[in-house]
Amino acid sequence: MSADIVNLRGVRKGKMRAEKDARAIENRTKFGTPQRVSKLSAALREKEQQDLEGKKRED
């Protein structure tokens, strides 16, 4: 009938580690792409935008 003893400091540190890991994953996806890939994707987005602007009809 006795409950397990839980050290709250360990729980708090575990929660902080999980948050830090989540932030690291987010930063890896945001800043982890190589510069050439970033420039290529930016150029493709710009080209798509220009193509879309060129296909718009003026009424």
Concatenating the DSSP letter of every residue in 14-28 gives HHHHHHHHHHHHHHH
Q: Nearest to residue 8, comparing CAs of 22, 18, 16, 20?
A: 16
Mean pLDDT taken over the chain = 90
pTM of this prediction exceeds 0.85: no
Q: Please, which residues have CB within 8 angstroms of residue 41's CB and are 6 or more apart in sequence?
A: 33
Domain span at 12? 8-55
Task: Note the pLDDT of residue 1.
Answer: 62
- Position 25 in a domain: yes
- Position 22 in a domain: yes
The whole-number average pLDDT for the span 23-35 is 88
The whole-number average pLDDT for the span 20-45 is 91
- Position 2 in a domain: no
Sign of CA pseudo-dihedral 20, 22, 25, 29: negative
- Position 1 in a domain: no
- Position 3 in a domain: no
Distance CA 40, CA 29 (A): 16
- Position 27 in a domain: yes
- Position 46 in a domain: yes
pLDDT band for 16, please (50, 70, 90 cuts).
very high
Report how many domains make up the chain.
Answer: 1
